[in-house]
Structure 1
């Protein structure tokens, strides 16, 4: 039964992750902006292929038990950098969608914004740390 369910879950995972990545990249215009900043317009197909292959490989690896033996310092540093990336990406998406200004105006919480931002940052950091500490 497990051999029947795992491929279905893996295929569903690939479709969902792939659709989400394509939507996010399209919404934020990441590839055109990257080529504009680096002045590498002729390499746009390479960037797109790297993104597609990376998403496919990541979806596949999430279903396996493969691992790379690294030292604890490298693992902590990688986790820290991945957290920074995810936080910046979420902030960019929220800014593009104009979520923050709409929520602030709608709930009339202008004077509490700094506390909300700090609580989100600390909550995410603490949650990630506890997850890493107790589940890995």
Structure 2
């Protein structure tokens, strides 16, 4: 009886983990497709014929860091110069993502106009911002300490 409960619990955790990974992966792909991040990057670099390299780099990075997380790989970095390089690449990625999101945010006024919510535009943006800040604070201050 106890073995079947332990097996069912492990099966439930496996199914839940698979469903979570599937939803996060689908969300990432949807974000990349909606924002047209890869084609935009290829356009800016004048490298349409080499866009497969961008896609391969994205997939390889996701697979590598997933394996690094699952296998608990640890390595030390040799000083501040390496940290500065990693920070530079992180900044480039965040900047590109922010630029793509800015273009998507141009759709917000159009959506508000069609739904006749133009007079509530400031409230709509404030609600989005406060929701993001509240969610981040909850994650950082409460959720991470629940383990």
| Shorter-normalised TM range | 0.5 to 0.7
Residues 1:51 and 2:52 are matched in the alignment: no
How far 1:131 moved relative to its partner?
2.2
8 Å Cα contact 1:35/1:41 also seen in 2: yes
TM-score (normalizing by structure 1): 0.58
Aligned length, in residue pairs: 123
Q: CA RMSD in A?
A: 3.9
Residues 1:19 and 2:19 are matched in the alignment: no
8 Å Cα contact 1:10/1:60 also seen in 2: no
Label 1:84 to 1:114 Cα distance change in 2 as closer, same or farther (>3 A).
Answer: farther
Select the structure with the greater relative contact order (CA < 8 A; seq sep ≥ 6). 1
Counterpart CA distance in 2 for 1:9 and 1:41 is 39
* Runs (5+) with no aligned partner, structure 2: 1-6, 77-82
TM-score (normalizing by structure 2): 0.55
* Runs (5+) with no aligned partner, structure 1: none
Larger Rg: 2
8 Å Cα contact 1:31/1:47 also seen in 2: yes
